[in-house]
Chains A and B, each alone.
Chain A
Amino acid sequence: MKARLILAVLFTAVLGLAGCGEPVARNTGVYMLIDTSGTYTQEIEKAQKIINYLLGTLTTGDSLAVAKIDSGSFTEKDIVAKVTFDSRPSQANAQKRAFQTSINQFVTRVNSSAYTDITGGVIQGIEYLNETGAGKKYILIFSDLKEEIQKGQIRDFPLSFNGIRVSAINVTKLRSDNVDPREYLDRLEAWRNRVESGSGKWRVINDLNRIETLLEDKGS
């Protein structure tokens, strides 16, 4: 009788341990792309505010990287700053301060680029986020979404987002858009199709007063 009882307890314990399984990733990874082409550099202060908001929102264990979009964005060199916050809150705060300083320096010395390789930046972002192993992944594109790539660069191929949430922020209207608004709408639609066909989720946030909705499903 006792032996049966012990066996039953052991069996339950084994089942309980098996139920634990692989730990679930609960951290968040954010990759923010900042367009530095042409006149869009004038908008960079807005991007700085968004980064500060992200620094205030992200917590221990989360990852954040800020990269610029220039003529050839598919490179680590374009990453302005990146960090994975320490599990200790005091250390995480120190990292946030250092990150803020890096961004402040970047904002003061940013130069305009001739071309706008958004796709390259997005691919770089997907790679970075997959490396972090974050449970929730976000790519924030701070750009007018007007892609201009150098001759010879190949960017027109499908991308695999695998559940990454892609948000286009502050998509400004260009002069040509004012002439024919369909251009603007087509641009947005093209990016939506590209993201959603790659199993990603697409959103556009033009009103920066709704900045708090950026990571609204972070806690869920």
Chain B
Amino acid sequence: MSGTNVLTIWSDQVAISVIVWLAIIIFLMFFARPWAHQAIHAFAKVIHKAARTASRSIRSAELHLKDRNRQVLLQHGREATERHIEREFQRVATTVNRDLSGYPSLQRKLKEQITKIDEDYQQTAEVPPSPPNWLEAIEHVAKIPGNGDPTVAKILDDIHGTLKRANDKALTEYRSASQRRHTLLKQMLPYWRKMTHTLESVEKKIHSLEERSKIIDNQMDKYSEIMAQTDLATKLLSSSSLTQFFIAGLVLIIAALGGFINFQLIALPMSEMVGAGTYVGNTSWQVSNVAAMVIISVEVAMGLFLMEAVGITRLFPVIGSMDDKMRRRIAWVLFSFLFLFASIESALAYMRDLMATDREALNQSLAGVQVVEAEYRWIPSVGQMIMGFVLPFALTFVAIPLESFVHSSRTVLGIAAAAFLRFLAFFCRFLGNISLNAGNFLINVYDLVIIVPLRIDYMFRSGRHPTHKETKPDKIITGKKTKSLQSMDSTMS
């Protein structure tokens, strides 16, 4: 039986048949009203509850993740601060061992200088020449009146001459004594300077120690905050991680560009060694390109290990936990390998230049142009060789941003995952609320469809029981629904 036949079962005219069908449906809907309401409401409630449960679970997972992130962040921050403090202490120890161990000799040196200066100073004390004892007697003799006696005048002249000579002699002696004192004072000058210099250097060292102690104090404060797991410490570490993530990411992009240049330098000559027409399986990767990539990757790996061995990074605990002697040996071995690789790359870069020149010459010959040797051709050759040698060493330092990136990405990914979970929880909650309201909406639409029999029933019941307030079917519907129906009924009446 087709759909049209079913439709026209009551009458040949479609409109009449449709009306009959509608009447039947509405009639059935009216009688099924309480159970239909219950079913709609139950369905909405199920979705609502499921969504809320899911939301709660996701929220709980988010909190768990946040807690885990916090623990990881604090742990990483604690390790970083410990490392920082350790390094500061090492620096202090180095300063103390290097500078303060020489203090006894420095003190002796200072003492010697002070003694020498003191002796010189004592010698430079200015003693005014004492007047001769006979000067007073001469003064009295000089006061004797001459009375024009030539003998007396002669005696007085002699006395005057003697006095003058004595004066000149005393003056000369005084001058020479002053000169000696000045010379001694002049000799003291370098000692003073030396002493000033020594004291200044001591002051500088003491000042540097003071600065270091301030840094250690700050780090210790930070460490205390981390150990106390305060919110401030978490916030600071989180912010620092985000900054590190972006900075390290930027540096890694730059390093990747450096790696690309390196790849371009050695890919062509590698094709001369392993052949250019060979591919890896069914892929479009040329074996020569893969070989070049492998060489660069090995160099980067060597660089990572080297940085680990010299104690700059801490990505591989196995290397970090080795004793210093072994680590030093490993560092030298790795450096030798890197040097070897750098030399190979330099040679390959030169080969690349030769191949490029050859290809250029061939192309010129094929184009019918006379092959011309370019001037200063050696400059790019040397440049490429230097680049080929330097880039492997430059790539070594990728280890530093990589370590920061790895550590900070753990935090950043954790934050992103927590944010995603929060959004998911919100979405589930939102979905649950929508389903509940959609249930209420559907119930209202249901009643709207059967409004005619509903009103008749209402009028009938009101006529029989004037105090009748609520229809029986609504009693089996939950409180919320009953209220909505009541409000609808009151509006209608």
If A89-B272, A96-B362 touch, whether A26 touches B368 (CB-CB below 8 Å) is no
B365 beta carbon closer than 8 Å to chain A? yes
Cross-chain contact B365 with A100 (CB below 8 angstroms): yes
Q: Count how many chain B residues have C-beta atoms less than 8 Å from C-beta atoms of the other chain.
A: 20
B275 touches A60 (CB 8 A): yes
* Residue interface bits A52-85, CB-to-B below 8 A is 1, else 0: 1101100111000000000000000000000000
Q: How far is the CA of A56 from the CA of B359 in the complex (A)?
A: 9
Q: Which residues from A are CB-within-8-Å of B359?
A: 89, 93
A61 CA to B277 CA in the complex, in Å? Answer: 5
Contact of A26 among B275, B279, B365, B367 (CB under 8 A): B279
| Chain B residues with CB under 8 A of A100 | 365-366
The CA of A24 and the CA of B368, in the complex, are separated in Å by: 36
In the assembled complex, the CB of B491 is this many whole angstroms from the nearest CB of chain A, namely 67
Chain B residues near A19 (CB-CB < 8 A): 281-282
Contact partner of A56 (CB less than 8 A), chosen from B277, B355, B366, is: B366
* CB-CB under 8 A for A89 and B276, given A52-B367, A56-B366, A96-B362: yes
A61 to B359, CA, bound (A): 16
Q: Is the CB of A97 within 8 A of B268?
A: no
A143 at the interface (CB under 8 A from B): no
The answer to whether A97 and B279 touch across the interface, beta carbons within 8 angstroms, is: no
Q: Knowing A56-B366, A89-B359, A100-B366, say if A24 contacts B271 (CB, 8 Å).
A: no
A97 to B282, CA, bound (A): 32
A27: Cβ under 8 A from any B Cβ: yes
B277 CB contacts on chain A under 8 angstroms: 26-27, 59-61, 87
Considering the complex, give the chain A residue whose CB is closest to the CB of B354: A90
Chain B residues with Cβ under 8 A from A152's Cβ? none
Set of chain B residues within 8 Å of A22, measured between Cβ atoms: 282
For A158, list chain B residues within 8 Å (CB).
Answer: none
A219 to chain B, nearest CB (A): 10
Contacts of A96 in B (CB 8 A): 362, 366
- Number of A interface residues at 8 Å Cβ cutoff, please give it: 23
Known contacts A87-B275, A88-B271, A89-B268; A21/B362 CB under 8 A:
no
Give the contacting residue for B282; candidates A21, A88, A93; CB below 8 A.
A21
Identify which of A20, A52, A93 contacts B358 (C-beta below 8 A): A93
| A97 contacts across to B, CB distance below 8 A | 362, 365
Q: Which residue of B lies closest to A60 (CB)?
A: B276
Q: Pick from A55, A56, A89: contact of B271, CB below 8 A.
A: A89
Contacts of B284 in A (CB 8 A): 26
Most buried by A among B277, B363, B368: B277
Q: Which residues of B contact A27 (CB under 8 A)?
A: 277
B355 contacts A20, C-beta separation under 8 Å: no
- The minimal Cβ–Cβ distance linking A45 to chain B, given in whole angstroms, is 10
Within 8 A of A (CB), among B267-312: 268, 271-272, 275-279, 281-282, 284
- Inter-subunit contact B272/A88 (CB<8 Å): yes
In the assembled complex, the Cα of A97 lies from the Cα of B366 at a distance in Å of: 9
Contact between chains at A23 and B365 (CB < 8 Å): no
- Which residue of chain A has the shortest Cβ distance to B359 in the bound complex? A93
Which residues in B have their C-beta under 8 angstroms from that of A55? Answer: 366
Contact of A20 among B276, B282, B362, B363 (CB under 8 A): B282
Question: A22 — nearest CB in chain B belongs to which residue?
Answer: B282
Interface positions of A (Cβ within 8 A of B): 19-24, 26-27, 52-53, 55-56, 59-61, 87-90, 93, 96-97, 100
- Beyond known contacts A20-B282, A88-B271: 4 more, CB 8 A cutoff: A19-B281, A27-B277, A52-B368, A60-B275
A–B pairs, 15, beta carbons within 8 Å: A21-B281, A22-B282, A24-B279, A26-B279, A52-B366, A52-B367, A60-B275, A61-B276, A87-B276, A88-B272, A89-B276, A90-B358, A93-B358, A93-B362, A96-B366
